[in-house]
């Protein structure tokens, strides 16, 4: 999962404003409220956006704040109204490519990193068809789902899963492929690592947080 903090930029014609981001984990917030940690990738950056993925590593509340700097002038800190916890992340459906290799139904999911798994549902498009499901452990590699019947159409959809936060995305739009012709000799396939279907998970991924500065006298204070 990736986590980004964004904010409204300070617009001063002909000037370059820099931004710095700091955060507090749960321990600092409770016991060391005066201690804030610099986000290593967001110290005096010009972009009004900060990648906090390497900083938000635990499922606990994080306080986040940002300030602007112009030359020797520095604004007051602007802080999120409420702490961010990654278990509130809304995941997005994965991109996928559905294809056929002879009579084999194949899916390849985008690689979202080691924390992600994918629930894949597939079915033969016909009245009364029942969905089958597999959980794919990683993206970026072709996965064999089913040996298809000649003349039939099969459909596939997928959703993202992150066990660490117990959440999943909505399912993607279904994609379908049609098989034509007669079945030939079977082709050996080695599927990627899959398991039996998981139970339902909560949630609807990448999270994006935003905040606004307060202006005073043409600059932030």
Q: Do 2-88+205-220 and 96-195 show the same overall fold? A: yes
Looking at domain 2-88+205-220, its CATH architecture is: Sandwich (2.60)
Q: Per-domain residue ranges for the chain? A: 2-88+205-220, 96-195
| Closest alpha carbon to 21 in 1, 3, 37 | 37
Distance (Å, whole) CA 206 – CA 18: 25
pLDDT at 214 over 70: no
Looking at domain 96-195, its CATH architecture is: Sandwich (2.60)
CA dihedral 68, 74, 75, 76 (to 10 degrees): 120
pLDDT tens column, 98-123: 999 989 999 999 998 888 999 999 99
pTM > 0.85: yes or no: no
Instruction: Give me the chain's average pLDDT, please.
Output: 83
Distance (Å, whole) CA 4 – CA 204: 19
């Amino acid at each position: 999962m990736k986590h980004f903090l964004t904010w409204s930029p300070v617009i001063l014609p002909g000037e370059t404003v820099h931004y710095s981001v700091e955060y507090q984990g749960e321990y600092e917030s409770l016991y060391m409220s005066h201690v804030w940690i610099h986000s290593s990738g967001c110290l005096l950056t010009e972009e009004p956006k900060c990648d906090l993925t390497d900083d938000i590593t635990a499922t606990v509340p994080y306080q986040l704040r940002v300030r602007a700097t112009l030359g020797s002038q520095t604004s007051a800190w602007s802080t999120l109204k409420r702490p961010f916890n990654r278990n509130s992340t809304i995941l997005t459906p994965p991109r996928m490519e559905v294809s056929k290799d002879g009579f084999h139904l194949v899916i390849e999911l985008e690689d979202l990193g080691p924390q992600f798994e994918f629930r894949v549902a597939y079915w033969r498009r016909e009245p009364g068809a029942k969905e089958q499901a597999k959980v794919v452990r990683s993206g970026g590699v072709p996965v064999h789902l089913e040996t298809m019947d000649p003349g039939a159409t099969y459909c596939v959809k997928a959703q993202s899963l992150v066990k660490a936060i117990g959440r999943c995305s909505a399912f993607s739009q279904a994609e379908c492929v049609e098989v034509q012709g007669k079945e030939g000799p079977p082709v050996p396939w080695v599927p990627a690592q899959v398991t039996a279907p998981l139970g339902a998970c909560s949630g609807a991924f990448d999270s994006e947080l935003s905040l606004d500065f307060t202006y005073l006298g043409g600059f932030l204070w």
